[in-house]
């Protein structure tokens, strides 16, 4: 296809492949489809459209490392035939059984076959486009289910605490508003207090005058 001799070394975190249109970004995901024996393009396998014009075959090679050590997996397509080589062992009659275990890109069956690892351009993630029951079945089948349930529990606890705190502040605000209403009458008392102070000063002045006389 559009790649003649391309080498990609993924980063330790997230690897982002970007660029202009029609330069071969999507072909990389298609290459992984073929390497993982995904059934997405099986209807086209009999057609040699993935072989670059003027070439005799197309190959995709991935090198990776897991707990069992280093692995090299290669998919190759010649005219009307395809095959794999896994750790030096050739398989020309279908994908080798250890392929899924090493690549960990196996299609999953949740009511229907779903590709949970790869998606086409502008296609939503598997977990976002399926029905609720399929998503639940997918989550229940993973080894991380307990962590998801723990996250749900923590989330529910945080929501309850937030609701309790909101209720507390609402009640506190209501009490403060009632107190402000009671204190609002102070504004009416202030002039009376000032008049009383003036009268007290006058009375005190009159007493002083009487004593002198």
What pLDDT does residue 44 have?
54
CATH architecture of 1-106: 3-Layer(aba) Sandwich (3.40)
The runs of H, that is alpha helices, within the chain are: 25-35, 98-103, 126-129, 132-141, 145-183, 186-212
Structure confidence by residue, pLDDT tens digits, 19-33: 888 888 888 888 888
113 vs 186, higher pLDDT: 186
* Average pLDDT of the residues in 135-160: 77
Entry pTM: 0.54
In angstroms, the CA 112 to CA 203 distance is: 99
63 vs 109, higher pLDDT: 63
In angstroms, the CA 133 to CA 153 distance is: 20
Let me know how long the chain is. Answer: 213
Structure confidence by residue, pLDDT tens digits, 80-89: 888 899 999 9
In angstroms, the CA 121 to CA 25 distance is: 9
**Residues β-bridged to residue 58:** 77
Q: Give the gyration radius of the chain's Cα atoms.
A: 38
Structure confidence by residue, pLDDT tens digits, 52-100: 888 888 999 999 888 889 999 999 988 888 889 999 999 888 888 888 8
Structure confidence by residue, pLDDT tens digits, 190-210: 787 888 888 888 888 877 777
């Amino acid at each position: 296809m559009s790649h003649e001799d391309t080498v990609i070394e993924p980063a330790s975190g997230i690897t982002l492949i970007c660029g202009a249109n029609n330069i071969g970004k999507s072909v990389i995901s298609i290459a992984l489809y073929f390497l993982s024996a995904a059934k997405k393009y099986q209807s086209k396998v009999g057609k040699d459209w993935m072989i670059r014009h003027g070439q005799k075959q197309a190959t995709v090679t991935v090198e990776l490392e897991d707990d069992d050590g280093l692995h090299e997996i290669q998919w190759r397509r010649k005219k009307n035939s395809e095959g794999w080589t896994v750790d030096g062992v050739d398989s020309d009659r279908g994908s080798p059984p250890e392929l899924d275990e090493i690549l960990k890109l196996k299609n999953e069956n949740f009511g229907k076959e779903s590709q949970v690892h790869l998606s086409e351009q502008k296609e939503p993630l598997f977990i976002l486009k399926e029905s609720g029951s399929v998503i639940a079945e997918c989550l229940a089948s993973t080894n991380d289910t307990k962590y998801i349930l723990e996250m749900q529990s923590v989330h529910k606890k945080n929501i309850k605490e937030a609701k309790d705190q909101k209720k507390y502040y609402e009640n506190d605000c209501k009490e403060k508003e009632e107190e402000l209403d009671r204190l609002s009458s102070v504004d009416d008392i202030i002039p009376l207090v000032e008049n009383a102070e003036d009268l007290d000063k006058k009375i005190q002045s009159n007493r002083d005058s009487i004593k002198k006389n």
